[in-house]
Amino acid sequence: MRIVHVDDIAKAVNELVKKANFELGRDVVAAFEKGLKDEVSPAGRAVFGALIENAEIAKRESVPMCQDTGYAVFFVEMGRDLHIEGGLLQDAIDDGVRRGYAEGFLRKSICDPFTRKNTKDNTPTVVILELVEGDRLKIVAAPKGGGSENMSRLTMLSPAAGKKGIVDFVVKRCEEAGSNPCPPVIVGVGVGGSAEKCMTMAKKALLRPIGQKNPDAELAELEAEILKKVNDLGIGPQGLGGSIFAMAVHIEKYPCHIASLPLAVNICCHASRHKEVLL
């Protein structure tokens, strides 16, 4: 049994949330560069140019790439031969976020849903935990902006709706979202599972690198079909009109109840932030 102390988890999370907010993934920057070449609208190309410059400045000067530094969401894989010493995993992650958001001068955006009183340290966090084989702890920090998160939807389709129903719903959701999720976006889609599993899959789908094909040929085809349709809406970068609303569509699926066809959409803005550490 390997032992990891909560202090080491908090320290790693502290660094992770700052890095996630300062440094975009290489895949996202490459998608911006591709957009700069491929976007048909001059205004849209200007947006891609500004996003590339913004990403460079954020990384170089260690400043957040967006004023909304996000809800601190974590995907954690914990090996079954690992023991956490000194406290609870959730408390350790919250502690790291508390320190990281203070040290990095990251905006604190979490409040009570009724009183709207800010918790002032960006906690509590959301931790999605999965138990896996082995003795390691993989932590992925995926801060999520409110503007794009507000565009999320879950629907329970009739099983008879089939693929057409799935495509129609996702495309309509993107059309309704318009400029609100700060395009160019990544569209995460969950199909199947229970209601909560479906929403989690849609968000987790956003972690897949842009440009990496779905290993399931049927899903890869569906992703390509939806990507073309949402881009044909003409919303374009920042909603200024153009040919690239989405840089990618990522779908995850899971078996579902015979009476249901759950479908979730979670859109990620161009500030597609996620960083991971292995302890």
- CA 77 and chain centroid, separation: 17
Sheet (strand 275-278) strand order: 126-132, 73-79, 137-141, 275-278
Query: What tokens were used for 172?
Result: 């309509």
**For tokens 């959301």, what's the residue?**
126
| Closer CB to ligand SF4, 68 or 223, in the complex | 68
Separation in Å, CA 92 to CA 5, 161, 173, 179: 9, 44, 36, 36
Smallest gap from Cβ 149 to ligand SF4, in A, equals 8
Question: Which is closer to ligand SF4, CB of 110 or CB of 261?
Answer: 110
Minimum CB distance to ligand SF4, residue 24 (Å): 11
3-state secondary structure of 62: coil
Q: Closest distance between ligand SF4 and the C-beta of residue 42, in Å?
A: 21
Closest CA to 122 of 166, 168, 74: 74
Q: Looking at the DSSP assignment, which residues form a beta bridge with residue 266?
A: 188
Instruction: Please say which residue, 67 or 119, places its beta carbon nearer to ligand SF4.
Output: 67
Could you tell me whether strands 246-254 and 137-141 are parallel, antiparallel, or unpaired per DSSP bridges? Answer: unpaired
Smallest separation, CB 170 to ligand SF4 (Å): 18
Query: Least distance to ligand SF4 from the beta carbon of 259, Å?
Result: 35
Whichever of 36 and 261 has its CB closer to ligand SF4, that residue is 36
Least Cα distance to 85 among 1, 15, 141, 13 occurs for 1
Please say which residue, 11 or 275, places its beta carbon nearer to ligand SF4: 275
Q: Which residue is nearest to ligand SF4 (CB)?
A: 145
Of 87 and 147, which has the nearer Cβ to ligand SF4? 147
Smallest separation (angstroms) from ligand SF4 to the CB of 39 = 18
Distance in angstroms (rounded) separating the CA atoms of residues 48 and 54 = 10
Angle ∠(97,200,6) on CA atoms, nearest 5: 30
> Minimum Å distance from CB 130 to ligand SF4?
25
Residues that bind ligand SF4 (CB under 6 A): 66, 68, 145-148, 181-182, 269-271
Q: Is 47 helix (H, G, I), strand (E, B) or coil?
A: helix
- Measured from the CB atom, the residue of 66 and 110 that comes closer to ligand SF4 is 66
